[in-house]
Structure 1
Amino acid sequence: MKIVIVTGMSGAGKSTALNVFEDEGYYCVDNMPIELIPKFIELARGQKKEYCNVALGVDIRSGDALNELDDMLKELSQRHYNYKILYLDSSDEVLVKRYKETRRTHPLAKDDRVDHAIEEERKQMSFLKEHADYILDTSHMLTRELKQELEKIFVENGHYNNLFVTVLSFGFKYGIPADADLVFDVRFLPNPYYIEELKKLTGNDKPIQDYVMGFDAAHIFLDKIMDLFDFLLPEYVQEGKNSLVIAIGCTGGKHRSVTLANAIADRLKKTEYGCKVEHRDIDKDAKRKL
């Protein structure tokens, strides 16, 4: 019997995660009273196969009973139950934005501001994050990407290192991305913008990819940057980082940076890390000319 405790910050995607588990055949219960969890698992273990896997949503809505969770987890361990803790997190800025968009009230907000409630929730939930087997930062994830990561961990039994990488292409003339952790400049490569038949294409088009990757410098850069990531990413995991934004920039964010960002993401997707690629400025020139 597999038991997953789905927890984390309000607005980080717990409801979405529970829906994913339900689609995969887990029996899901959200916001169950903490004191009932051991009894529920005991009953589920003796029932039919539809209860062979369960996912339980636990979060700040438990109120003061959250203080009992640590003892409850110890009890589950003593009973040798096979449970895992999935902790969903997100940046404060993204959580505030999500609450504004959905117009929902934060469980701790009441008459206070949402950002103050998030700060208090983060303090109260910190012990659970320390206990977590898997930490997913959903700040830069779409719903389908969260689903893919959960399937990778819990369905495909893939190895997961609690790090989700976003490879982001951008144009320096539009500014360096504010949320970038690592920034790399590929303006040293020849620019296809000055070739008339390539100018209107992007790094998602094969002629641009063939042009940019036709230079030895592009392959050397790609190999060396992947060597750097082979060293850095495990160090970030060890330090506790669970999301990383790697920004690849060229002049306009349309040709060289897009090509290299795609190439880096393709290689990272073959590793144990979650990864996606975004192209922030790929359509900027076209929009400005309208």
Structure 2
Amino acid sequence: MPMATTQIVLISGLSGSGKSVALKLLEDLDYFCIDNLPATLLLQTVCMLREQGHQRIGISVDIRGAQSLPALPACVAELKAQRADVRVLFLEAKTESLLKRFSETRRKHPLSTQNPDLTVTECIVLEREVLAEIADLAHRLDTSDLSANALRGWVKQWLALDQSRLTLICQSFGFKHGLPLDADFVFDVRCLPNPYYDPVLRPLTGRDKPVIDYLEAEATAQAMYEDVRGYLMHWLPLFDRDNRSYVTVAIGCTGGQHRSVWLAEKLAEHFGAERQVLVRHREYPGDLA
């Protein structure tokens, strides 16, 4: 009988971005988890755990092991060459969100110990620079506006994906809350008629039938949908050939409630017939996920 494929989930990202939440989720899903493993020990550790019979492994690798991080890309490549199912998740957040979290928890930034003259903001900037190469290896997830519960839900969705296929992520957001950090493409739909100004439609979202009917009756909304759909139909095959794992298409309106939600859902419905698609609504992750 062939040996079961080992699934290895590597979690990295910025301090304060939710790595401990993601790693605890893996523990709850019966992964054998290790926090803060130096990258230079990754291959040896995975080999040992495999010999012990562990087939689901979760490992956190981050700035606390900064000196070993340059070894991580080669280790990931070697594990994939061994036919392991290796998934790398990189969590990030806006600087203002991270500052708020550090202030609320009264924790020190890990880089402040070796760099006592740096402010927390300067530590965050330095950490982004050091981890940039790891972010390029990974599925990036912006946790700036996510609750811990929403983050757990999004990570569960990600774990369930078929990693051999490109995943199209259709994500709505509100410009008034800032651009998502994990977007590959951003489309601005604020030029479309806004259901917010109709008192009946205001409390609803782009998933509710009255809002859908309102927008689909607008020629400009239909034209926007056709143009964005056509653009993606033209370019997504090139990402397939480039062996990309994820493409995140962010659709933004003012508040992230009506127009962007409608278009993200409509695009996901179209492409979901042939592709692996995730839908995410940043401003309403719990209500709409």
* Residue in 1 that maps onto 2:49: 44
Deviation of the 1:113 alpha carbon: 0.8
Query: Is 2:60 the counterpart of 1:57?
Result: yes
Specify the SS of the correspondent of 1:25.
coil
Instruction: For residue 57 of structure 2, give the secondary structure of its aligned residue in structure 1.
Output: strand
- Counterpart contact for 2:170–2:265, Cα < 8 Å: no
Q: In terms of Rg, which structure is larger?
A: 1
The equivalences for 1:150-229 within 5 A come to 150-157=155-162, 165-168=170-173, 178-179=178-179, 181-186=186-191, 193=197, 199-202=199-202, 203-204=204-205, 206-229=209-232
Sequence identity (%): 25
CA distance in 2, matches of 1:94, 1:242: 24
**2:229 match: secondary structure:** helix
TM-score when normalising by structure 1: 0.69
Quick one: which of 121, 124, 127 aligns to 1:118? 124
Distance, in Å, in 2 between the alignment partners of 1:108 and 1:200 is: 51
Aligned residue runs from structure 1 range 11-22, under 5 A: 11-22=16-27
Taking a change above 3 Å as real, the CA distance of residues 263 and 105 of structure 1, as seen in their structure-2 partners, is: same
- 1:135–1:242 CA contact under 8 A, matched in 2: no
Distance 2:56 2:65 in 1: 23
Is the CA contact (8 Å cut-off) linking 2:165 and 2:245 kept in structure 1?
no
**Aligned pair in 2 of structure 1 residues 266, 75: CA closer, same or farther (>3 Å)?**
closer
Q: 1:246 to 1:160 in 2, by over 3 A?
A: farther
Q: Give the CA deviation at 1:40.
A: 2.5
1:85 aligns with 2:84: no
TM-score normalized with structure 2 length: 0.69
Structure 1 105/114 Cα, relative in aligned 2: closer, same or farther at 3 Å? same
**3-state DSSP of counterpart to 2:104:** helix
Q: Which runs of 5+ in 1 are unaligned?
A: 171-175, 281-290
Alpha-carbon separation, structure 2, partners of 1:5 and 1:98: 23
Report how many residues are paired.
261
Q: Which whole-Å deviations, capped at 9, do the CAs of 1:202-249 have from their partners, x for residues lacking one?
A: 243644543443445543443334334545778899899976643225
Name the residue aligned to 2:99: 96
Cα distance in 1, alignment partners of residues 11 and 112 from structure 2: 22
Q: Secondary structure at the match of 1:227?
A: helix
Deviations 1:233-273 (A, max 9, x none): 78899899976643225xxx6xxx84433321212444445
Amino acid at match of 1:179: L
Write the distance in 2 (CA, Å) between the matches of 1:121 and 1:149: 24
1:277 aligns with 2:276: no
The Cα of 1:7 is off from its aligned counterpart by: 1.4
Q: Contact (CA 8 Å) 1:168, 1:245: kept in 2 or not?
A: yes
CA pair 80-186 structure 1, distance change in 2 beyond 3 A: closer
Aligned-partner residue type, residue 264 of structure 1: L
Residue pair 1:165, 1:246 contacting (<8 A) in 2 also: yes
Instruction: Give ranges in structure 2 of 5+ residues lacking alignment.
Output: 1-5, 181-185, 285-289
Task: Tell me if structure 2 keeps the 8 A contact 1:182–1:247.
Answer: yes
| Paired residues of 2:192 and 2:259 also in contact (CA < 8 A) | no
